[in-house]
Structure 1
Amino acid sequence: MSNADDVAAVRAVHDGWFAANVGLDVDKMLPYFPVGDGYLQFNLNGFVYRGAADKAKLWRNLSSIGVTITRIEDVTEPEIQVFGDVALLTSEGEAELVLPSPTGKLESSGATRFRNTEFLRRDDGAGNAEWRIWHMHISESAPEGQLKYGTE
């Protein structure tokens, strides 16, 4: 497989994973992560999830109380670097979630900007050479208008 083919395959995993976020579709999400407990995520909610089953439990529980993601997209072109059987994808995105308000009523979060780092391996966790996301770190972007360098 050429580097261009690997970049395209990594991008397809990223795009599929993002698509699965809309509606918190667990069945669509699981194929983008390795089987077993090797996956590690530092989630936007501040918690750590180990293994796709742990992440699936979060999504199922959130869905059961009406929490969902209604929109998610990249706002910059993802940067993808492939190093043999590992890859690094970084991007900036925007999502809109339905979350409980302080009163408990489910409401839109409005646009939530975030930064995303995905570490992928050409390994599905069961010994097959298929690209999967093994680690992800998502954090909220700085608010609009904040001074990037402190004084300017």
Structure 2
Amino acid sequence: MLGFFKKKKKLVLKSPVVGKSIDITEVPDEVFSTKMVGDGIALIPSEGKLYSPVDGKIVNVFPTKHAIGMETQGGIEILIHIGIDTVGMKGEGFTSHIEENQKVNAGDLLMTFDIDLIEEKAQSSIIPVVITNMEKVKSMQCYKEEVDINSTIMEVEIS
């Protein structure tokens, strides 16, 4: 009888930046707005510091430092993409504070970046935060509001 009352596995993502959260469909890039790489939320940063939204492991720091891949203990894969069309900046304006395979806690500083330079040289400073393995997600709730690094931006029920 107890097997019917399986405990829900829940993942809470905190905002990786200070700023404002918006719907993923508002991102000015079809790859994100049409959810080709996964579903999530996007952020408009007001300062150039990116923090870890969860406890997890850094799986990938792109050579151009514009994107980070993370994995949670529960196996949820998260892509954090700093800006739109920032790959062409070739790392200019980005400083990484982490390395691949490093374990991080929610709130740890991952990257610093120059918002003004991104706005000048790329399409946008919007930061999509996307779960790339949605097959592991039973349900997801996103919160659109003014945010700081203590704000919950997403709650995910893991299947």
Higher helix share: 1
Greater RCO, 1 or 2 (C-alpha within 8 Å, sep 6+): 2
